[in-house]
Amino acid sequence: MDYQQFITLVKEKLSKMNEKDKDNWIYAYARKVNSDYRKNFLESLDTSSKEVSYDIDKYLKIFEEIKDEEIYLQAYNEEYYDEVYHDWDYISHYSDVFKVLPKIEECIRICYEIILAKQYEKAYLLLSDLEKMEIFYINDEIGDCGHLCLDDLNYHDLIEIDIKEFYLACLYCAMKLDKSPEIIFNYYSHSKTDLHIDDILAYGPEEIENSKSLIKKICEYLLCRSGNQATQFLIEGALYLGNQDELLNYARKAYQEHPSLYKKCCELALEKGDHDLCIEIAKEAIEKIPESQPIHGDIIDVAVQAQCDDPYFYEAAFLLKPTVLNCLHLYSANTNISQIKTQFLKNYYQNITEKELKIYRFLLGDYKEIYQECLNDKESLGWSMSLKGTIIPLLLMLLKEDEKIYYADGHVMSDLQSRLMINSSQYDLFEEYFQKWKRKFQLDESFKEVCLQWLFHEIDQRTEVVVGGMYRKSYYKCANQIIVLGEILKNNGKINSVNEFVDNYIEIHARKRTFTKEVLEGIKKY
């Protein structure tokens, strides 16, 4: 639940409560407050502005002296041996000769107290100086010098500060004081932390009354500014201001600087189940955004998830960003596979390996040609990196007619997913697309016969080499492939029983108990 929705619901519920109801709720809540937070709770009940007696002039004077380099840090180096690079290196240390660092920490703490006292002008004055501060350092030993900002001081453990809270304080004060969009966004972008608009609005003792108009100004300011942080603020700002319509409005205005706004619009429509809107926005976006921009392909990927009947998105997704999933997904729509294959082979893909190219060709119908290339590979070991090592489990799962019957079926599928570099988060999608591919992908009957003989020969030979050579780490791969092969041979009338087929290998390798164990594990019913 976002901040705006939360606050709206709180206000609605409070409006329905009388004074007695509110008192009872406060008492009930107070009873359950952890003992560590009872003091904070009591302080929160004090709604009066506190008089702050701290003299901020002394801190402003310190910042002026830092700026004029009258106050500085003394640096020195400590040599040490780097075990990683096997060489001598040095680490820098800093001496606080003017005892200024504790005063900086003190100043930050005071800023937070001043904010709680609702004296935002005074707090902002200190915070802005802290944020701009660059303390000079000099290393007399090596004649080195430079400046350290607040982040640097924190990074080197010279001060202890929560950077996110510091910038929240800066942003809160700047927004309470209605500072310019440029100033506010500079704090947002300089934070280098995971800041969100909701975090800012939930900070401080009081609500930011003009938050919507201010956020709107910032968003309009950011429309012509590039950068990921500007994009993120625009997304959050638009959703805070209204709904998806506001975000779409920004996307149309600023697609050159912020093309990913269109992607977010598509994602939101998809999340809501409005597939038609997702497709509509995607079509609009890809007309405006050049193919050369990666976001063009990302938007198409989102559109494909909307499961539309338009084959364009399926084709574009694969041709722009060839992956196994995108290739298999071509078979989910009424696409022209032959035409796509021709276009794919014409394109130059810098990031595609020769092996990946051949796998895509196989999936697109060039299975006879790829099979011929596999015949040239006579090795029974080293399948992890070879083309043959991927094509064999691919053929096994293609030729297997039934759903998973044995544990071995799932193991071979997992092995195939690994060889095709499918992420674990995409396993379900892969199996869904794979099944659609199987239903439409047809092998010549004559080739199927040849294929069965080849699979038997290769798996049999590999088992002999792996088990006979005591390559125990690969026993399970051989065992599972034998079982799946047995299923295929049984379904094609080549053998009478899968169990008999499997028992033959157990008998041959009876002395290899580890192998037998793997076979018996794989033959268990799924």
The Cα–Cα gap between 162 and 361 comes to 54
Highest mean pLDDT among 138-147, 310-319, 389-398: 389-398
| Mean pLDDT of the chain, nearest integer | 90
Q: Which helix (H) or strand (E) holds 298?
A: helix 294-305
Summarised one tens digit per residue, pLDDT across range 69-93 is 999 999 988 876 666 666 667 788 8
Summarised one tens digit per residue, pLDDT across range 149-173 is 999 999 999 999 999 999 999 999 9
DSSP H helical ranges for 347-474: 354-363, 367-375, 387-399, 407-419, 427-440, 445-468
Q: Which helix (H) or strand (E) holds 147?
A: strand 144-149
Give the distance, in angstroms, between the CA of residue 48 and the centroid of all CA atoms in the same chain.
Answer: 45
Summarised one tens digit per residue, pLDDT across range 86-126 is 666 778 889 999 999 999 999 999 999 999 889 999 999 99
Q: Which of 155, 207, 197 is nearest to 176 (CA)?
A: 207
Summarised one tens digit per residue, pLDDT across range 196-223 is 999 999 899 899 988 999 999 999 999 9
- Length of the chain equals 526
The Cα–Cα gap between 76 and 83 comes to 22
**384-403 as b/e, with b when 16 or more CB fall inside 10 Å?**
eebbbbbbbbbbbbbbbeee
The Cα–Cα gap between 302 and 228 comes to 20
Q: Which of 213, 119, 225, 234 is nearest to 182 (CA)?
A: 225
Q: Which of 411, 413, 504 is nearest to 456 (CA)?
A: 504
Confidence of residue 305 (pLDDT cuts 50, 70, 90): confident
Summarised one tens digit per residue, pLDDT across range 409-439 is 999 999 999 999 999 999 999 999 999 999 9
Q: Which helix (H) or strand (E) holds 94?
A: strand 87-95
The Cα–Cα gap between 500 and 498 comes to 5
Q: What 8-state DSSP symbol labels residue 317?
A: H
Say whether 199 sits in a helix, a strand or coil.
Answer: helix
Pairing type for strands 87-95 and 72-82 reads antiparallel
Where does residue 78 rank: exposed (0-12), middle (13-18), buried (19+ CB within 10 A)? exposed
Q: Which residue has the higher pLDDT, 234 or 41?
A: 234
Q: What 8-state DSSP symbol labels residue 380?
A: S
Output the pLDDT for position 27: 72
Above 90 in pLDDT, residue 38? no
The Cα–Cα gap between 519 and 517 comes to 5
Q: Which residues pair with 137 in a beta bridge?
A: 73, 146
Above 60 in pLDDT, residue 11? yes
Output the pLDDT for position 86: 64
Q: Which helix (H) or strand (E) holds 233?
A: helix 228-241
Output the pLDDT for position 349: 87
DSSP H helical ranges for 36-100: 38-44, 57-67
Residues 388 and 458 sit within 8 Å (Cβ to Cβ): yes
